[in-house]
A and B are shown apart, each in its own frame.
Chain A
Amino acid sequence: MSFLLPQLTCKKEVDQAIKTVAEKVLVLRFGRDNDAVCLQLDDILAKTAHDLSKMAVIYLVDVNNVPVYTQYFDISYIPSTVFFFNGQHMKVDYGSPDHTKFVGSFKTKQDFIDLIEVIYRGAMRGKLIVRSPIDPNNIPKYDLLYQGI
């Protein structure tokens, strides 16, 4: 069943999403529609969105449209996926250097589903940071460069 993921095109819409999504994990994929890895990730997100609809709401955001957030969220690689719950940023320890976002694509749909479940459960228990259930081998590797400001 194909599911077309909704897009947020400006800062205001992103603000709206962060503020209004209630009692569900907000998934914001930052990237570009024509990027190869983004396409991979978007495919996984689209195919799992329906099954996760009770726990998560997923939006696609083009990094060119929201420069403020691209900077604020320190997005240097795409795709980067940021998670919120009730307006609060949820951090995840993937075993990678950056806990504030998921960089790259998931290997399988199940990995993404498991991650959402863990984030959801942690949020319900009041945790702002959770540990990723994904096998570290399946986590994309990247170098986190300190961007001098």
Chain B
Amino acid sequence: RPGCCGTWPGADGAEGVPVSRRPEHRRQTARFWRENRAEAALREQCLVPAEEYERFAQALERALGEHQRREEERILQMAADIREAERRQRETVQAALQVEPELCAGPSVCRPPTGPERDSPCAAEQPGPSRMHTGPDLAWMDSSQVLTFIGHQEAEGKGNVHTGAKPPWLTEEEDGIKQQIGPSYEEFLKHKEKQKLKKLPVERVGANFDHTSQTSDSWLPSFGRVWNHGRRWQSRHQFRTESGEKKKK
């Protein structure tokens, strides 16, 4: 709804001055009050003097700036905390990987403590969940399943899947050629025709006729001749016989 002077708040107008600060604002407000027969006392309370407004605007700007700074600090702090936690985790894992080979170098391999008949030094060390709380559970891994560490993937600037960066398959434009994915337009039309074919009745005449077969010059279609009562191939056969006899003459 428009404000008390009849114009919309925030409509700065040509001079760039907010509505509430325009000179005629007071006059319009007074008229509004009279017309609507509002309490005169309230008017003074509703109308904000220019100086008050200025103070308010400035305070607002300061508060906003403060808030933004605090938020940024908080986020940076969180990022630093996460990085620190990651670092500690890496160190722990590496330390564990270094310790494990020493244990396994002994006469028996580190096995899960399931065989009570096994008298291995590993049992004294208690490998498994009881030893490591923060690191990965190594007890269930055979020595044959030691994973190859290929290095920490640093991709500063480029971003990765966690930061929501653009995936590599969408960024390729080096060839410059417009690569169309999927079938071309003609293939699509052919496909539509094939779909239409499927809708035709299956029992129709010549449904399995091969329209693209290559035939010789002497090919004859399946034709039931007038004077033949047998199967149609007999027509063809008889015709060929007749032709053959004629040729022999």
Interface residue ranges, A against B (CB under 8 Å): 11-12, 15, 18-20, 22-23, 68, 71-74, 82, 84-91, 98-100, 122-128, 144, 146, 149
Report the 4 A-B pairs with minimum CB-CB distance, sorted nearest first.
A86-B206, A126-B203, A123-B205, A87-B209
Given A85-B205, A100-B224, A126-B205, output 6 extra A-B contacts at Cβ < 8 Å.
Answer: A11-B217, A87-B211, A88-B206, A89-B221, A123-B204, A126-B203
Q: Give CA–CA (A71, B220) in the complex, Å.
A: 12
Q: Residue B242 contacts which of A11, A85, A86, A149 (CB distance < 8 angstroms)?
A: A149
Q: Measured between C-beta atoms, what is the minimum distance from B208 to chain A in Å?
A: 9
Contact B213 A86 (CB under 8 A): no
Contact A74 B213 (CB under 8 A): no
Nearest B residue to A84, CB-CB: B221
List A contacts of B46 (CB < 8 A). Answer: none
A interface, over-half SS = mixed
Contact A15 B224 (CB under 8 A): no
Q: Residue A127 contacts which of B205, B211, B222, B226 (CB distance < 8 angstroms)?
A: B205
Contact B203 A86 (CB under 8 A): no
Contact B200 A146 (CB under 8 A): no
B interface, over-half SS = loop
Contact B221 A87 (CB under 8 A): yes
Interface centre among B217, B220, B223, B224 (most CB of A within 10 A): B223
Contact A88 B215 (CB under 8 A): no
List B contacts of A20 (CB < 8 A). Answer: 211-212
- Known A-B contacts A19-B213, A86-B204, A123-B204; the reply to A100 vs B221 at CB < 8 A is no
Q: Measured between C-beta atoms, what is the minimum distance from A91 to chain B in Å?
A: 6
B219 within 8 A of A: yes
Contact A19 B211 (CB under 8 A): yes
Contact mask for chain B residues 32-67; partner A; CB cutoff 8 A; 1 contact, 0 none: 000000000000000000000000000000000000
Q: Give CA–CA (A12, B214) in the complex, Å.
A: 11
Q: Give CA–CA (A128, B231) in the complex, Å.
A: 12
Contact B206 A87 (CB under 8 A): yes
Q: Residue A124 contacts which of B201, B215, B225 (CB distance < 8 angstroms)?
A: B201
Contact A19 B215 (CB under 8 A): yes
Q: Give CA–CA (A12, B207) in the complex, Å.
A: 23
List B contacts of A87 (CB < 8 A). Answer: 206, 209, 211, 221-222
List B contacts of A127 (CB < 8 A). Answer: 205
Q: Give CA–CA (A90, B197) in the complex, Å.
A: 20
Contact B226 A100 (CB under 8 A): yes
List B contacts of A71 (CB < 8 A). Answer: 239
Q: Give CA–CA (A98, B224) in the complex, Å.
A: 11
Q: Measured between C-beta atoms, what is the minimum distance from B135 to chain A in Å?
A: 71
- Known A-B contacts A11-B217, A87-B209; the reply to A100 vs B223 at CB < 8 A is yes
Contact B211 A146 (CB under 8 A): no
19 contacts between A and B (CB under 8 A): A12-B217, A15-B215, A15-B219, A15-B221, A19-B213, A23-B204, A72-B220, A73-B225, A82-B223, A85-B204, A86-B207, A87-B221, A88-B222, A89-B223, A89-B224, A124-B205, A125-B201, A125-B203, A128-B205
Q: Measured between C-beta atoms, what is the minimum distance from A47 to chain B in Å?
A: 27
List B contacts of A19 (CB < 8 A). Answer: 211-213, 215
Q: Measured between C-beta atoms, what is the minimum distance from A78 to chain B in Å?
A: 15
Contact A23 B200 (CB under 8 A): yes
Q: Residue B227 contacts which of A11, A15, A74, A85 (CB distance < 8 angstroms)?
A: A74
Q: Give CA–CA (A125, B205) in the complex, Å.
A: 7
B232 within 8 A of A: yes
Contact A88 B205 (CB under 8 A): yes
Nearest B residue to A88, CB-CB: B206
